[in-house]
Amino acid sequence: MTMPAYYDFCSRVKTISGENAMEKIPGLLKGLGVRRPMIVTDRGVEAAGLIDTVTEAIDGGLDIGAIYADIPVDSDYRVVDDGAAVYQNNRCDAIIAVGGGSVIDTAKGINILASLGGKSLLGCQGAGTIRRKLNPLAVLPTTSGTGSEMTLVAVIADTERQEKMLFVSHFLLPDLAVLDPRLTRTLPDFLTSQTAMDALAHACESYYCMEKNPVSDALALRAISLISEHLLPAVRNPAETSARLALANASAMAGAAFSNSMVGLVHNLGHVVGAVCHVPHGTCMSILLPYGLEYNTHRREKAIGEILFSLAGPEIYAKTPEKARPDKAVEQIRMLNEDLHNITGGKHPRFLGEIRNKDGTPAVPRSALPEIARKTMADGARLPNPEEILPEDALMVLEHAWAGIHLDRSRIRKGA
């Protein structure tokens, strides 16, 4: 491979993985000076009995100061303010976040406010606000997708101004990531499949986008091979402990990769589809990932071809002529989506037009596509994508993804 002219990479999250990983938490947190952690989670995780599992595992080692489980699906800065008050009132000194992306981001927000002091997260905005080490944060992901346990960002909604507050700081990297298969056992099959596709999207995009570098490449390729080997077994049979542990590892590795080399078209379009139509992130990722590869092939033929090696294994890679590898990689991802669709009884989505709201109406009406395409210009993921993405380009891709058809390559604008 050619070396990038410049890159930077930083990932310093202590990661523990294994069937008894949670039992290690008290010792590791004590080593960081922790005495009274607060557990941050949501009602779904609590109802699944996971908080009992967690408290049992760390029982006796640490004095749990509070359990804050009031994180709604659409968490915002007021939830953060509320959680930080609970933290301070109970004299906690660390956070153990147990949940998916929304819980982890909210926990990072609470940690900013609780560590730096203050009444509201609104007062912590602006670049350079976070200038020092925050209090310890341990993350126990209950989905294998977002990779937030490895990222240095927190996105917190400001519902009143309809904006998203973006916090980026190396101090937001958690101190500890705990990958324990007990945490993902209760996740329904169609969520296991969609969140894993989010992780696959992180790995693929970090491998072909403009900030790719040798360190993130290594993480991305291994994450891809773990997912392609273990996703179907984990979805078919949640009792497959090792398969679920593999997915948790892949998600964390893909998280570390994309936290450093960023994402492109798939997330650019996916963020906006999610925001406009209230579709879960993993759903958007499953559908859009093949299009990200197709759209960028003319710029990154070699890198996208190499993805095939990890997706399909050395034999298929070697048998496929170099020119045909990118398309074969796309085909593999489409096949994976199709298999997941069948195993989950149709709950794993294949194209935007088939996603339904709870009341059966289409979640992404075709008439919403032009608005989505326009709004992609305001999303940061458009910058690291190798090919330019203007609203006309976004609309063209969205129309294909809506109907579930292969991207018509003659319609990709490649410039002069």
The binder of other proteins chosen from 1, 10, 47, 378 (CB under 8 A): 378
The binder of Fe ion chosen from 76, 198, 205, 294 (CB under 5 A): 198
Residue 328 near which of Fe ion, other proteins, none (CB within 5-8 Å, type-dependent): none
> Which one, 81 or 211, has the nearer CB to other proteins?
211
384 binds other proteins (CB under 8 A): yes
**Could you tell me which stretch among 51-59, 198-206, 278-286, 380-388 binds other proteins (CB under 8 A)?**
380-388
Which residues, numbered 107-136, are part of the site for other proteins (CB under 8 A)?
A: 126-127
3-state secondary structure of 98: strand
> Which one, 46 or 387, has the nearer CB to other proteins?
387
Amino acid making up residue 251: S
The binder of other proteins chosen from 32, 48, 210, 368 (CB under 8 A): 210
The binder of other proteins chosen from 211, 217, 327, 399 (CB under 8 A): 211
What are 308's two structure tokens? 């095939």
105 binds Fe ion (CB under 5 A): no
Q: At what angle do helices 301-312 and 214-236 cross, to 10 degrees?
A: 40
Residue 33, Ramachandran bin (φ over 0: left; ψ between -120 and 50: alpha; else beta): left
Residue 416 near which of other proteins, Fe ion, none (CB within 5-8 Å, type-dependent): other proteins
Amino acid making up residue 198: D
Q: Binding string, 164-193, against other proteins, x = CB under 8 A?
A: --x---------------------------
**Cα separation of 51 and 74, whole Å?**
21
> Which one, 42 or 198, has the nearer CB to Fe ion?
198
**Cα separation of 162 and 376, whole Å?**
16
Look at residues 64, 66, 152 and name the one whose alpha carbon lies nearest to residue 105.
152
Cβ 150 to other proteins, closest distance in Å? 19
Cβ count within 10 A of residue 189: 18
**Could you tell me which stretch among 190-198, 313-321, 325-333, 369-377 binds Fe ion (CB under 5 A)?**
190-198
What are 131's two structure tokens? 């200038």
Cβ 363 to other proteins, closest distance in Å? 24
β pairing state of 94-99 and 66-68: unpaired
β pairing state of 14-17 and 66-68: unpaired
Look at residues 396, 335, 8, 384 and name the one whose alpha carbon lies nearest to residue 208.
384
Which residues, numbered 388-407, are part of the site for other proteins (CB under 8 A)?
A: 388
383 binds other proteins (CB under 8 A): yes
DSSP letter string, 133-200: --S-EEEEESSSS--GGG-SEEEEEETTTTEEEEEE-GGGS-SEEEE-GGGTTTS-HHHHHHHHHHHH
> Which one, 209 or 352, has the nearer CB to other proteins?
209
Number of residues in contact with Fe ion, rule: CB under 5 A? 1
> Which one, 271 or 348, has the nearer CB to other proteins?
271
**Could you tell me which stretch among 26-34, 104-112, 344-352, 381-389 binds other proteins (CB under 8 A)?**
381-389
> Which one, 140 or 209, has the nearer CB to other proteins?
209
Would you say 259 and 151 are in contact if contact means Cβ atoms under 8 Å apart?
Answer: yes
Nearest residue to Fe ion, by Cβ distance, number only: 198
Strand partners, 163: 158
Strand partners, 14: 176
Cβ 167 to other proteins, closest distance in Å? 12
Residue 193: CA count within 13 A, CB half-sphere: 27
What are 36's two structure tokens? 């009274």
Residue 325 near which of Fe ion, other proteins, none (CB within 5-8 Å, type-dependent): none
**Cα separation of 27 and 339, whole Å?**
42
Q: Binding string, 239-268, against other proteins, x = CB under 8 A?
A: -----------------------x------
- Please, where are the H alpha helices in 297-360? 301-312, 314-319, 325-343
Q: Where does this chain bind other proteins (CB under 8 A)? A: 5-8, 126-127, 163, 166, 210-211, 262, 377-380, 382-384, 386-388, 413-416
Q: Where does this chain bind Fe ion (CB under 5 A)? A: 198
